[in-house]
Amino acid sequence: MEKETNLIVGAGLSGAVAANILAENGEKVLVIDRKDHIAGNVYDYKDENNIHIHKYGPHIFHTRIKEVWDYLSKFTQWNYFFLKPNVIIEGKPVSLPFSLATIYELFSPAMAERLENKLVEKYGYNVKVSILELKNNDDKDLKFLAEYVYENVFKNYTMKQWDAKPEDIDFSITARVPVQINHDMRYFDDKYQGIPLRGYTAMVKKMFDHRNIEVKLKTEASEYLKKDWKRVFYTGAIDEYFNYKYGELPYRSLRFDVQTRDVEYYQRTVVTNYPNNYDFTRITEHKYFLNEKSDKTVISIEYPQKFVNGQNERYYPIVGTENEALYKKYLADAEKLDNVYFFGRLGDYKYYNMDLAVDRALKLMKNILK
């Protein structure tokens, strides 16, 4: 039976794309996952307040890739949604990304107008300028703006997110983040943006809803990997597949404190960042995702933490020369295997946005089945 069946390790978005395409091409697929639910880290669920909760943090789908949008649209309708987060600066919620709109929310009208005029005169309108570039010009007002944005929006947030000391944060890296010279309050400017109308879990469930697909949850991969499959598609951690023979690839993780509050709304937008106060980085208010109505609201308070194997989830690969070299050792071993394919953010040791994870899976399957 196994020799006629494809094994997919991981029931998240990448695994779902692979499973669906194989099944549509008449191939048998077994999908296994150690979690007790499908959809991986895009998993959401309805709570007792009839609100969809994004268990592993806020997920807003956005892409410029029409093929990806069209593919997922076969499995869901969309709540067309633009992420417009806030950031707390000097105790005040203001618009993020940092734009002309933010400048007018923070500074006096006279100062805001002066900064706008200087930005437009030097760089033009509707462009993005890194705070590094702003810092390196001769105008004292623009230098001030660069330092202000760096200190109040990015530096401390980065310290919390990556557990970094101030002296270890390279300004030239952090300062790549732009100031937008426009009044656009959207965090993403991709053509296609939205959230599945009935949630991500429902979308992934529909991707698995095929007579050629079987899904087994709460199932470890170790015993199944010993069997003889037609192909193996592995979306788990590549270092785990090889029993950490060269050592563990490092990740940052997250902890979520999910709270129900007895108010209709807790904050004025879906996500609010807290770079300079408290130990958490942001608060997400879930009812905004699908515009759900309730006399209560649910928030998730997000605490970055070190990834500890077996205790929490892998979220963000810690990029760097040493870690990339370690990953390449595993990749070299992976390339020696026949009919075993590694992909997804854990298999590729890359933090993919959702659209790039789908695009990667689509291209992989197209190459295999051509």
Contact 317, 350 (CB under 8 A): yes
What's the pLDDT score for residue 177?
Answer: 79
b/e map 237-266, b = 16+ CB within 10 Å: bbbbbeeeeeeebbbbbbebeeeeeeeeeb
d(CA 240, CA 245): 9
Determine the average pLDDT of the residues in 193-209: 98
Torsion of CA 8, 9, 15, 21, to 10 degrees: 0
First to last CA, the chain: 24
Q: How distant is the alpha carbon of residue 123 from its chain centre?
A: 31
Helix (H) / strand (E) element for 180: namely strand 178-180
Structural tokens at position 335: 């390339």
Structural tokens at position 105: 């929310």
Q: Give which of 233, 191, 228 is closest to 334, Cα–Cα.
A: 233
Q: Over the stretch 215-248, which tens digit does the pLDDT of each residue have?
A: 999 999 999 999 999 999 999 999 999 999 999 9
Helix (H) / strand (E) element for 44: namely strand 44-46
Q: Over the stretch 82-128, which tens digit does the pLDDT of each residue have?
A: 999 999 999 999 999 999 999 999 999 999 999 999 999 999 999 99
Percent over 70 (pLDDT), the chain: 97
Task: Report residue 2's pLDDT band, with 50, 70 and 90 as the boundaries.
Answer: confident
Neighbours of 272 (CB within 10 A): 19
Task: Report residue 171's pLDDT band, with 50, 70 and 90 as the boundaries.
Answer: low
Q: Give which of 255, 299, 307, 260 is closest to 280, Cα–Cα.
A: 255
pLDDT of 172 strictly over 80:
no
Pairing status of strand 231-234 against strand 5-9: parallel
Structural tokens at position 15: 């695994």
Place of tokens 């709304």: 265
Q: Over the stretch 295-320, which tens digit does the pLDDT of each residue have?
A: 999 999 999 999 999 999 999 999 88
Task: Report residue 167's pLDDT band, with 50, 70 and 90 as the boundaries.
Answer: low
pLDDT of 174 strictly over 90:
no
d(CA 257, CA 261): 12
Which amino acid is present at 15? G
Q: What SS3 state is found at 92?
A: strand
Conformation bin of residue 141: beta by default, left when phi > 0, alpha when psi is -120 to 50: alpha
What's the pLDDT score for residue 197?
Answer: 98
Task: Report residue 164's pLDDT band, with 50, 70 and 90 as the boundaries.
Answer: confident
Average pLDDT across the chain, whole number: 95
Write the DSSP string, 303-335. EEEE--TTTS---EE--SHHHHHHHHHHHHHHT
Task: Report residue 137's pLDDT band, with 50, 70 and 90 as the boundaries.
Answer: confident
Q: Over the stretch 41-79, which tens digit does the pLDDT of each residue have?
A: 999 999 999 999 999 999 999 999 999 999 999 999 999
> What are phi and psi for residue 308, nearest 5 degrees?
-125, 120
